[in-house]
Amino acid sequence: MKIAFIGLGNMGGGMAANLVKEGHEVRAFDLASEALDAAQANGCATFGSVREAVEGVDAVVSMLPNGQIVLSAYTGEVIGHAPTDAILIDCSTIDVATAREVERLAADGGYAMVDAPVSGGIAAANAGTLTFMVGGSGEGFERAKRVLEGMGKAVIHAGGAGAGQAAKICNNMMLGIHMIGTCEAFTMAKKLGLDPQTFYDIASVSSGQSWSVTSYCPLPGVGPTTPADNEYKGGFATGLMLKDLRLAMEAAETAGVDAQMGAHARELYEAFDAAGNGGRDFSAIIETL
């Protein structure tokens, strides 16, 4: 397929490279020249504007920082410029309302579009093992799936427009809460005299088990290799976790949900981010304990 890829940052760069490996012709755009150079080295053709990149394509994939940029890119550069038979796939993490608005505008322009945010982080983006949570029509999902399977291990239809974003923010609200609880438990276990690896061996097969324990332990040298073993570099940045928690709390307010644990997790990550830790992995919050 001929695929336009918009947004080649930490996540998008690896995703676009995997589409090339799958045999697709990838037409890439980003505002940063360094990102374009890296994409070109990975086999992508690069362009100076979104409008140029989307000419004659079968699909458009975007991975952008926020809802306002997504809305601007699609309404100003994609809709009316990409072929109307191209499937539009936004993999950014944005608010549900904006996702639904962009998909409505795309439908008005004659396009099929889905929201398909991801779970897995930079390592999974590079390895092609992301999980995609997809919102949109059944037909749009089936068309998008052909593209998304080249970048992920799981592609799941979450429901109608905006459902992918809803699944993503609910999932990451749980993750933020779980990580703080995991950090508290490992800190307390250590101060009570338990060996961290021994506690890991117990917790990872007991009722306290979670992904934050078994796959992403926040202590170095415990369990599988994680960002904790690399001074909390790489992985999932604190700033991105905070973004997702803020989106979750906005959605909770709109839906009338009293998400007290999510709100407290947001407060703790806001303080951690304000202390200059926005670029560090979110598991580094263990240092505050």
Could you read off the pLDDT of 72-86 as tens digits, one per residue?
Answer: 999 999 999 999 999
Please, what is the end-to-end C-alpha distance for the chain in angstroms? 50
pLDDT the model gives residue 234: 85
Alpha-helix runs per DSSP H in 91-152 = 96-108, 121-127, 138-148
CA distance 92 to 114: 11
* Token couple for 18: 């995997």
Q: Is 243 labeled as catalytic in the residue annotation?
A: no
Q: Indicate whether 59 pLDDT > 90.
A: yes
CA distance 265 to 273: 12
Q: Indicate whether 121 pLDDT > 90.
A: no
Which residues partner with 5 through β-bridges? 28, 61
Q: How confident is the model at residue 123 (pLDDT cuts 50, 70, 90)?
A: confident
Q: How confident is the model at residue 161 (pLDDT cuts 50, 70, 90)?
A: very high
Q: Indicate whether 122 pLDDT > 90.
A: no
* Token couple for 142: 């089936």
- Catalytically annotated residue among 2, 21, 168, 233: 168
pLDDT the model gives residue 148: 98
Could you read off the pLDDT of 227-276 as tens digits, one per residue?
Answer: 999 999 988 999 999 999 999 999 999 999 999 999 999 999 999 999 99
On the 0-12 / 13-18 / 19+ scale of CB atoms within 10 A, 169 is buried
pLDDT the model gives residue 142: 98
Amino acid at 218: P
